[in-house]
Amino acid sequence: MASVPVNDEIRHTAHELIKYSGSIDHRAKLRQIIKGEVKSIGAEWWRKVNDIAIKHQITKIRPMTNPARNPNEHQRRVAEEMLNKLLAKLQTSPPGLEDYDRRQVENAEKSFAAENAKLKGLFDDVLGLRRR
- Give Cα 31 to chain centroid, integer Å: 20
Cα–Cα distance, 119 to 125 (Å, whole number):
10
| Residues of the chain above pLDDT 90, percent | 32
Over residues 87-132, the pLDDT tens digits come to 998 888 888 877 777 777 787 888 888 888 888 877 777 777 655 5
pLDDT on residue 121: 78
Contacts of 126 (CB under 8 A, 6+ apart): none
Q: What pLDDT is attached to residue 86?
A: 92
| Chain CA centroid to CA 80, Å | 22
Q: How far is CA 127 from CA 63, 67, 113, 115, 132, in A?
A: 63, 67, 21, 18, 13
